[in-house]
Amino acid sequence: MVGLVIVSHSAQLAAGVAELVRGMAGSDVQIAAAGGLDLADKPLGTDVNLIQRAIKQVYSDDGVVVLVDLGSAILATEMALEMFPPAQRARIMLAPAALVEGGIAAGVQARLGSDIHTVVQEARAAFDAKLAQMDAPPTISPSSNANPLPDESALRLELVIKNPLGLHARPAARFVQTAARFPAQVYVQNLSAPRGPVNAKSISAVATLGALQNHRIAITASGAGAQAALAALQQLADENFGDVESAAASANETPQTLAAPIVNEIRGRAAAPGIARGPARLYRSALGPLPENKIDDAPREWARLQAAMEKAQTQLRAARAALEARGAKNQAEIFDAQILMLQDDALQEPARRAIFQDRQNAARALHDASEQIAAGFDALDDEYQRARAADVRAVTHQVLLHLLDAAPPSVLERGILIAPDLTPAETATLDPQMIQALALAYGGPTSHSAILAKSLNIPAVVALGDRILTIDNGTMLIADGDNGSVLVNPDAAQLQAYDARVQAARAAAGRAERARHQAAMTQDGHNIEIAANIGSLSDAQRAVELGAESVGLFRTEFLFLERQDAPSEEEQYETYRAVARALDGRALVLRTLDVGGDKPLPYVALPREANPFLGLRGLRLCLAQPELFKTQLRAILGVANEFPVRVMFPMVSTWQEFYDAQNLLDQARAELRARQIRAPAHLETGIMVEVPAAALSAAQFAPAVDFFSIGTNDLTQYTLAAERGNPHVAALTETMQPAVLQLIALVVQAAHARKKWVGVCGEMAGDPRAIPLLVGLGVDELSMSPPLIPHAKEIVRGLSFVAAQAQAQRALE
C-alpha cells in the first residue's frame, strides 16, 4: 500500500489532517504526520529530521506520497529526500495538491491499492470538487475516467479464456489483484465480443467485459513494470485464473421433461441438491425506500459512506472466515471478489462525485453508482455472468443496511426460508440446523448464493417467481432441490412419496447416528480413533455431539483473521480453554497459527511473494515473528495445565524448523514460570506432514516428536505439483495416488518404529473411498469435519483390518 505523509508548519494541523484522512479512507491507511519543529513545545516550522522519520515510518516498495502546506515545507521535504538512497528516493513523490482535499483523495486511492502515480493524480484532482461547488473552473482535467485509452506503443498480450465459466467474479478478482501488483498502466479488452479496453485494475470494469470460455482477450501494458505485469497475467491465465468451480452443472444441465402440471406445485430451477419438508419462513429485508434529500456537508457524508463500506467489508470477511472454518475454502473466495467490488474505483468514484458535486446523500449516490455497474452485467449474454449483477446489488445492499440503520432480516423458527433472493453474505451465515431449505423467487443455479447453499448442504430451489412470495408464513412446503420445485400444502399422496424417497437414506444415516458414540473398531479388533477438525467453540460442541473421540485439528488461525490487531494472550487462553472444556476430557490438538502470503494479517508486515504457497507461511511465518508465536504458545501452555492439550506445528519442512519451534516453546514456558504461572514440564508436540520433505524425513523426526498428523490436501498438491482446485489437473488429485500413499506409508513405518502415532487430518480422512486404504496403511487416527464422523465410524466397523492391509498393499504397487 502506498504510504502518505502530511507535512505542515503546525503539528496540530498535520495530526488533524492525518486523523481526517483515516476517518475518511479507513484506519488501515498507512499515514504519518510531520508537523512543527522537533522540540518539546512543537513550535511552528518544518523539521527535516521529523519529515525523514515520518517517511521511514510508512515507507514500502509501493512508495510514499508527501503532501505539504506552504512553500518552505516543500524545501524541507526535498532536503529530507536527499537523505534517502536513490532507489528509495525514486519511490517518494511530492503531490502538488491541496493538503486536506488531496490528503483525503490520496488516502482513498492508497487504501484501494492504487499505484503511486494514480494516488498523486487523484490528490491533484481532488480540489476540483470544491471548485465545482463554487462554480469555478477545474484546475486540471478530471482523473476519474475509469477506462482511458491505452498507450498505442504499449506491450500487448493476447490470451484465450479456457476456464469453463469465463472471466467471472473470482477469476476477475484474481486478474485485477495481479494487475494491481505492478505500477504499469494495464488495460484489457474482449476481442471476441468487442468490449473495452477497460482499466485492468478495476474489478467491475474487467468483469463487465463478458469474457467467456474460448473468448480472446487483449491485454496491453505500458510504463514501469509493463513486461513483468504481462508475464504475471500470462502465468495467471496458464493457471486457469485460479478458477476452481466446475461448469458441469451449467454446461451439462439437461432440460427437464415436461409433465402434466401439478396444481399445488411451483416450478423453479434446481440450485442445491436435497429435499426437505417444513413450514414456510418468510425472510424479508427491513430496508425501506431510499432517502432523496440533498446534503450540506459533503465530507461528512463521504465519511458516512466509507464507514458503512468498512462495516460491510468486515461482515464479508467474517462470512469468508466462517466458511473457511467449515472447510469450504473455495466457496469462501466468493467474498474476495465482493470486497474488491466495494473497493473499486468504478463504484467509489461515481459515488464520490455524486456526493461532492451533486450533493446527493450517500445512500442514493451508492445505489445509483452500483446500478450503473449492475446494468453492464445485465446486458451480458452468458447466464453465469449476468448473475454477477446480483453480486453488485448484494454488496450495495450490505452497505445500505448500515447507512440507513436498517436491521438485517432474520429467521427465528425452523423451516423453509422464502425470500426474493439472498446475498452471499446472508447465505453464508445461515444455520443449517434452522434452515431446512431455500425457496427463492429470483436468482439462478449458478449464483454465488446457490454455490454457498451447496457447501452448507442446504437444498435450494431458485427462480420460483413472485408466486412463492405470496405464501403465508407457516404454510407447509416440500422443497425439492433435485428437480427444482416446491409443493405448497402437499396432499397425502405427495407426503407419502416424499416419505418414501427419504426413508432409505435416513435409515442408513440413522444406523450410523445411533452408533456414533461407539468405538470405531474393525471386525477383527483393530481400533481407529475418529477425531474432528474444528475452527470454533460451536464446532467443538457439535463434534462431541456427533461422536468425536478427540479433536485432531483445531484451526487456531480463525482467532487471528479479520481483525486489525493480534489477539492477546488472555483472549487466546480463554478461547482455547473454552474449547478444551467443551470436549469434556477428550484430547485437543491445537495447530499453531497457519497463515501467510495467501492469508495475510494486517498487523504483520509480510513480503509480497510471487507464490505464497511456497513462501513465508505456516511455521515459517511464526519463526519469523517470534513474539507473536510465543504469545500463542504461552496461551496453549496455560490451558495445558488443566486439560489434555497437544500442540502441532504446520508446514514443517526441515529438522531445523522443528528445533527452532521447540526452543521458542521452551522460552514461552520459562516466561510463564517467571510470572509465577504454572506451565507443564512436557507438552505433547507433533508436526503436520504437508510437504514431501517432511514425509521423507519422518525417520529423523520420529525420535523427537510425539505424533505426526498428515495434511493430505497440501501433501497431495506438493507431491504431484497439481493444485487440487485447478480443473486442468484435477484428475491427479481426485484419486488415491500411489505416490501419496507411499509417503503416508513411510511416515507410518517411521512413527510406529518409535511407538509414535499417526493421524490424517486432510479431506482424505473423511472420504469413504479412502478410509479403508488409510486403515490398511496403519494410520491410527482419522480427523475430519464433524458431520462425517458417524458415517466414517460405520465404515471402519465394517472393515477387516487384515483385508484392508492387503488392499492398501495393492494400492501401493
- For residue 142, the model assigns a pLDDT of 37
In the set 168, 526, 622, 761, the catalytic residue is 761
pLDDT tens per residue, range 329-344 = 656 667 777 788 888 8
- For residue 619, the model assigns a pLDDT of 93
- For residue 148, the model assigns a pLDDT of 54
Residue 188's alpha-carbon distances to 195, 202, 208, 348, 366, in angstroms, are 9, 10, 11, 21, 26
- For residue 146, the model assigns a pLDDT of 44
Fold classified for 3-133: Rossmann fold (3.40.50)
- For residue 733, the model assigns a pLDDT of 58
- For residue 228, the model assigns a pLDDT of 83
Among the residue ranges 58-67, 132-141, 351-360, 772-781, the one predicted with the least confidence is: 132-141
Active site residue 622: no
Cα dihedral 300, 306, 311, 315 in deg (nearest 10): 160
Can you count the helices (H) and strands (E) in the chain? 34, 25
The 8 Å CB, 24+ separation contacts for 667-676 are 667/630, 668/630, 668/633, 668/634, 668/637, 669/637, 671/630, 671/634, 672/634, 672/637, 672/638
Residue 599's alpha-carbon distances to 13, 132, 612, 652, 763, in angstroms, are 37, 43, 9, 18, 20
Which cell numbers hold the place of 653? 519442512
What CA–CA distance (Å, rounded) separates 260 from 104?
Answer: 63
pLDDT tens per residue, range 634-645 = 999 999 999 999
Which cell numbers hold the place of 4? 502518505
Q: pTM score, two decimals? A: 0.47
Active site residue 448: yes
Which cell numbers hold the place of 85? 538512497
Distance of CA 608 to the CA centre of its chain: 18
Q: Would you place residue 793 in the very low, low, confident or very high pLDDT band (cuts 50, 70, 90)?
A: very high
Fold classified for 155-245: Histidine-containing Protein; Chain: A; (3.30.1340)
- For residue 340, the model assigns a pLDDT of 83
Among the residue ranges 105-119, 268-282, 782-796, the one predicted with the least confidence is: 105-119
Return the higher-pLDDT residue of 638 and 48. Answer: 638
Residue 266 in this model has a pLDDT that exceeds 70: yes
What CA–CA distance (Å, rounded) separates 734 from 569?
Answer: 40
Domain with CATH 3.50.30.10 in the chain: 265-284+409-505
List, in sequence order, every beta strand (DSSP E) within 380-512. 415-419, 435-440, 460-462, 476-480, 485-488
Which cell numbers hold the place of 635? 496461551
Neighbours of 602 (CB within 10 A): 14
- For residue 601, the model assigns a pLDDT of 75
Q: Would you place residue 437 in the very low, low, confident or very high pLDDT band (cuts 50, 70, 90)?
A: very high
Q: Would you place residue 89 in the very low, low, confident or very high pLDDT band (cuts 50, 70, 90)?
A: confident
What CA–CA distance (Å, rounded) separates 469 from 489?
Answer: 15
Among the residue ranges 87-101, 156-170, 441-455, 575-589, the one predicted with the least confidence is: 441-455
Residue 167 in this model has a pLDDT that exceeds 90: no
- For residue 407, the model assigns a pLDDT of 67
Average pLDDT, integer, range 193-205: 79
Calculate what percentage of the chain has a pLDDT beyond 90: 38
Q: Tell the residue number behind the cell numbers 476481442, with chain if given.
A: 191
- For residue 766, the model assigns a pLDDT of 84
What CA–CA distance (Å, rounded) separates 477 from 498?
Answer: 11
pLDDT tens per residue, range 120-157 = 877 776 665 455 434 444 443 333 344 455 566 688 88
Domain with CATH 3.40.50.510 in the chain: 3-133
Residue 606 in this model has a pLDDT that exceeds 50: yes
Q: Residue 149 carries which DSSP code?
A: P
- What number does CATH give the domain 265-284+409-505? 3.50.30.10
pLDDT tens per residue, range 545-599 = 999 999 999 999 888 876 778 999 999 999 999 999 999 999 999 999 998 655 5
Return the higher-pLDDT residue of 729 and 268. Answer: 268
Domain with CATH 1.10.274.10 in the chain: 298-403
- For residue 151, the model assigns a pLDDT of 64
Average pLDDT, rounded, for the chain: 83
- For residue 255, the model assigns a pLDDT of 37
pLDDT tens per residue, range 734-767 = 547 889 999 999 999 999 999 999 999 977 898 7
- For residue 219, the model assigns a pLDDT of 93
- What number does CATH give the domain 298-403? 1.10.274.10
- For residue 132, the model assigns a pLDDT of 41
Note whether 202 and 346 are within 8 A (CB).
Answer: yes
What CA–CA distance (Å, rounded) separates 660 from 52?
Answer: 37
Average pLDDT, integer, range 762-788: 89
Which cell numbers hold the place of 631? 504469545
Bridge partners for 554 per DSSP: 534, 590
Q: Would you place residue 725 in the very low, low, confident or very high pLDDT band (cuts 50, 70, 90)?
A: very low
Q: Residue 471 carries which DSSP code?
A: S
In the set 402, 448, 526, 791, the catalytic residue is 448
Q: Would you place residue 252 in the very low, low, confident or very high pLDDT band (cuts 50, 70, 90)?
A: very low
Domain with CATH 3.20.20.60 in the chain: 521-812
Q: Would you place residue 409 in the very low, low, confident or very high pLDDT band (cuts 50, 70, 90)?
A: low
Note whether 132 and 357 are within 8 A (CB).
Answer: yes
Pick the CATH number of 521-812 from 3.40.50.2300, 3.40.50.10860, 3.40.50.1390, 3.20.20.60: 3.20.20.60
- For residue 240, the model assigns a pLDDT of 79
